[in-house]
A and B are shown apart, each in its own frame.
Chain A
Amino acid sequence: MAGALDPSAGDVVSAGNGDGHRIGWVPQRPAQYARLTPRENLDLFARLESVSDPVATTDSFIRILELPDDGRLTTHLSAGNQQRLNLAIALIGRPEVLLLDEPTASLDPRQRRRLWEVATQVREREGAVVFATQNLEEVEHFAGRVVVLLDGALVFDGSLEEFSNSPEADVFA
């Protein structure tokens, strides 16, 4: 879905214009340059995404996601800060679709709440958030549609309400 891998089979179809949607991707393992500072990472990806004002955009994401801006290299940041930078880079191109792969695995409760606040903004501006998780609480709070994969096979596809009443919910039990 992120376009990072060639599909082994099938297609990914999105209802956008001919060019498709802008997609932001938050992989489970942070995808950023360890020997750059958070600001340098954000500035680089903002320019690669052709953001109109990369400096101002970088400033705003540092502020919104409370990222360290003291010149420390990313490799010296805590796991939580690295994951928030990972999210900031995914959001910097103002994506219409946000893909999150186990985004909160290394975050404390406060950082989790912060991440979902920012992610939810994508949905509020009529975008979509697709996230993979093993945390039932996150599914109940943020999902509108649930797809369950078991051993690589699709075993459920329905609304949150249908999921709550289905035996597949036991997957998370």
Chain B
Amino acid sequence: MRNIRLLLVKDLRVLARSPALLAALVVYPLVFAALVGLVVRYASDRPRVAFVDIDHLPETLTVGGQRFNVPRVIGQVKGSVDLVQMPEAEANHQLSTGGVVAEIVVPSGFASKLRGMVESPRLVLRTTQGGLSGRVEQQTQALVYELNRRLQTAYIKANLQYVNLILNGGKGTFLGDEFDVLGLSGAAQALDEIQRTSSDPAVVARAAELSNFVRQARLALGASDESLHATANPIELQIDRKAGRTWLLSAQLQAYALGLTLAFICVLLAAAALAAERDENVIGRLARGSVRLRELVAVKVLLAALVAIALGFVIALVFGVLAEVFGVAGGEPWERLPLLVVGLALAGAAFGAFGALIGALAKEARTAVLVAFLAALPLVLLGLVPEAAARVAWWAAHAFPFRHSVDFFQAALYDTDPWGALGRQAAWLLGLGLAFGAAARLSVRRLLS
């Protein structure tokens, strides 16, 4: 242990003598996490979709007596996709060349069917078979849902006018034909009149029976306003955008920022630090007797763990201060930071052991840094693949500490009952750390050649 402590102090001293490197250690992961988050967010949120208007929709469309400004409505509902209007031939060309990921076609007769309110008009969606097609379908469904939501108000209003006509009577039109309707109110008055004036008990009894039916029908139709709205929206979603943490400070981003930081910094640091012992020609002197090779590997793993704790703490503090300054609802869970420190140490050690293995295999510090980066990048991306997207990749990601460290950090910071997840992820990180550490110990003798 004494040798490990001496070499660890040496490594920390060397690290502290590189202020530019120290600054990069803190700034790089924060910037990196934010950039990755932004790229992922905007790359996935607004795919370019062609809008082909074969029906030549008018500027203003009247549906159920309600006027719609068509460009404005489309502009309001296209938030989830970048909707670009173009001729059909151009859209087909761009779809085949990847210029757009889908095209939405308004077929001929669309507007007249919409105005008629008898038959549902159809929009046509054409997509490729690429990986984005499923997501574009979802977003187009969302767009159609949003259009339907706006149109249903007009439809309900038109239907209620008919109901009102049945209730109160008057002049109505349907498919261009005008007609007069007595209405239930008029019918009730007529039936009351019959009951008052008729001397035939059978007619009076029959009129009373009809009058009772008309009263019940008026009551039932009187409630049709609310019931029509309820039928159109069995469940309404209320979106309150002001509540909760902002996206930039979200729990997920914080966990990913920590995971990304450690994945790159700890792997690169341990790889470079171990290979540097050979570059400085010191490993032979150390291995000659005063230091065991397993102690040398342990030093690099501990160095990565210590740096992970320090950096992770700084990142958590930055997020916490920002959350407090901007008054983000939920704020930083300060009382959970001790749990976070455990995760940082375990994740840092696991990443460090992986880096030490790379350092031992690469032999030279420059090569080790390059190989560590090239190895860490795809392994991190593998950890970002959702289970549903590619199950094999999701399982493969379990062999690298990134996925486990992110899950540990999320559970440690925000799960209401984190212990199960923490136990599982801690066991994974410990197991991976020991496995990579053992492999590094077996490989480190290469540095002596």
Residues of chain A lying within 8 A (CB to CB) of residue B282: 31-33
Is B280 in contact with chain A by the CB < 8 A criterion? Answer: yes
User: What's the Cα separation between A32 and B277 when bound, in Å?
Assistant: 9
Contact, CB under 8 Å: B280 / A34: yes
Contact, CB under 8 Å: B288 / A6: no
Contact, CB under 8 Å: A6 / B448: yes
Q: A31-B281, A44-B10 are in contact. List 11 more A-B contacts (CB 8 A).
A: A3-B289, A5-B284, A5-B449, A25-B285, A31-B280, A31-B282, A31-B284, A31-B285, A32-B282, A48-B3, A48-B286
Q: How far is the CB of B400 from chain A (nearest CB, A)?
A: 31
Residues of chain B lying within 8 A (CB to CB) of residue A49: 290
Contact, CB under 8 Å: A48 / B280: no
Residues of chain A lying within 8 A (CB to CB) of residue B285: 4, 25, 27, 31, 45, 89
Residues of chain A lying within 8 A (CB to CB) of residue B449: 5
Q: How far is the CB of A23 from chain B (nearest CB, A)?
A: 7
Query: Out of A3, A6, A35, which one reaches B14, CB within 8 Å?
Result: A35
Q: How far is the CB of B408 from chain A (nearest CB, A)?
A: 33
Is A148 in contact with chain B by the CB < 8 A criterion? Answer: no
Query: Out of B13, B281, B283, B290, which one reaches A48, CB within 8 Å?
Result: B290
Q: How far is the CB of B292 from chain A (nearest CB, A)?
A: 11
User: What's the Cα separation between A153 and B154 when bound, in Å?
Assistant: 100
- A residues with a Cβ closer than 8 A to B are 2-6, 23, 25, 27, 29-36, 40, 44-45, 47-49, 73, 89, 93
Chief secondary structure at chain B's binding surface = helix
Contact, CB under 8 Å: B291 / A48: yes
Residues of chain B lying within 8 A (CB to CB) of residue A33: 10, 14, 280, 282
- B residues with a Cβ closer than 8 A to A are 2-3, 6, 10, 13-14, 17-18, 280-291, 445, 448-449
Residues of chain A lying within 8 A (CB to CB) of residue B281: 27, 29-32
User: What's the Cα separation between A30 and B279 when bound, in Å?
Assistant: 11
Q: Which of B14, B281, B445, B449 has the most chain A CB atoms inside 10 A of its CB?
A: B281
Residues of chain B lying within 8 A (CB to CB) of residue A27: 281, 284-285
User: What's the Cα separation between A47 and B284 when bound, in Å?
Assistant: 17
Contact, CB under 8 Å: B290 / A4: no
User: What's the Cα separation between A5 and B281 when bound, in Å?
Assistant: 13
List 8 A–B pairs whose Cβ atoms lie within 8 Å, in order of A's numbering: A5-B284, A5-B448, A23-B289, A25-B285, A29-B281, A31-B285, A32-B281, A36-B14
User: What's the Cα separation between A147 and B449 when bound, in Å?
Assistant: 24
Q: In the A-B complex, list the 9 residue pairs whose CB atoms are closest, starting with the nearest.
A: A4-B284, A31-B281, A48-B290, A35-B14, A3-B288, A31-B285, A31-B282, A4-B288, A29-B281
Q: Which of A31, A34, A45, A47 has the most chain B CB atoms inside 10 A of its CB?
A: A31
Contact, CB under 8 Å: A32 / B280: yes
Residues of chain A lying within 8 A (CB to CB) of residue B284: 2, 4-5, 25, 27, 31
Residues of chain B lying within 8 A (CB to CB) of residue A32: 280-282
Query: Out of B17, B280, B288, B290, which one reaches A2, CB within 8 Å?
Result: B288
User: What's the Cα separation between A31 and B282 when bound, in Å?
Assistant: 5
User: What's the Cα separation between A30 and B289 when bound, in Å?
Assistant: 18
User: What's the Cα separation between A36 and B284 when bound, in Å?
Assistant: 18
Residues of chain B lying within 8 A (CB to CB) of residue A89: 285
Q: How far is the CB of A64 from chain B (nearest CB, A)?
A: 20
Query: Out of B10, B290, B291, B448, which one reaches A36, CB within 8 Å?
Result: B10
Q: Which of B14, B18, B286, B288 has the most chain A CB atoms inside 10 A of its CB?
A: B288
Contact, CB under 8 Å: A4 / B280: no
User: What's the Cα separation between A49 and B68 when bound, in Å?
Assistant: 87
User: What's the Cα separation between A47 and B290 when bound, in Å?
Assistant: 10
User: What's the Cα separation between A129 and B293 when bound, in Å?
Assistant: 27
Residues of chain A lying within 8 A (CB to CB) of residue B6: 44, 47-48
Residues of chain B lying within 8 A (CB to CB) of residue A40: 10, 13
Residues of chain A lying within 8 A (CB to CB) of residue B3: 48
Residues of chain B lying within 8 A (CB to CB) of residue A73: 17
User: What's the Cα separation between A33 and B6 when bound, in Å?
Assistant: 13
Q: Which of A4, A30, A49 has the most chain B CB atoms inside 10 A of its CB?
A: A4
User: What's the Cα separation between A31 and B445 when bound, in Å?
Assistant: 17
User: What's the Cα separation between A36 and B6 when bound, in Å?
Assistant: 13
Contact, CB under 8 Å: B445 / A6: yes
User: What's the Cα separation between A31 and B278 when bound, in Å?
Assistant: 9
User: What's the Cα separation between A29 and B280 when bound, in Å?
Assistant: 9
User: What's the Cα separation between A31 and B280 when bound, in Å?
Assistant: 6
Q: How far is the CB of B412 from chain A (nearest CB, A)?
A: 35
Q: How far is the CB of B435 from chain A (nearest CB, A)?
A: 25
- Of chain A, the residue at the smallest CB distance from B284 is A4
User: What's the Cα separation between A92 and B280 when bound, in Å?
Assistant: 19
User: What's the Cα separation between A89 and B290 when bound, in Å?
Assistant: 12
- Of chain B, the residue at the smallest CB distance from A49 is B290
Q: How far is the CB of A44 from chain B (nearest CB, A)?
A: 6
User: What's the Cα separation between A41 and B282 when bound, in Å?
Assistant: 11
User: What's the Cα separation between A36 and B290 when bound, in Å?
Assistant: 19
Residues of chain B lying within 8 A (CB to CB) of residue A93: 290
User: What's the Cα separation between A89 and B286 when bound, in Å?
Assistant: 11
Residues of chain A lying within 8 A (CB to CB) of residue B288: 2-4, 23, 25
Residues of chain B lying within 8 A (CB to CB) of residue A3: 287-289
Residues of chain A lying within 8 A (CB to CB) of residue B18: 35
- Of chain B, the residue at the smallest CB distance from A3 is B288
Contacts A5-B284, A25-B284, A44-B6; A36 near B289 (Cβ below 8 A): no
Residues of chain A lying within 8 A (CB to CB) of residue B287: 3-4
Residues of chain B lying within 8 A (CB to CB) of residue A23: 288-289
Residues of chain B lying within 8 A (CB to CB) of residue A25: 284-285, 288
- Of chain B, the residue at the smallest CB distance from A27 is B281
User: What's the Cα separation between A45 and B283 when bound, in Å?
Assistant: 12
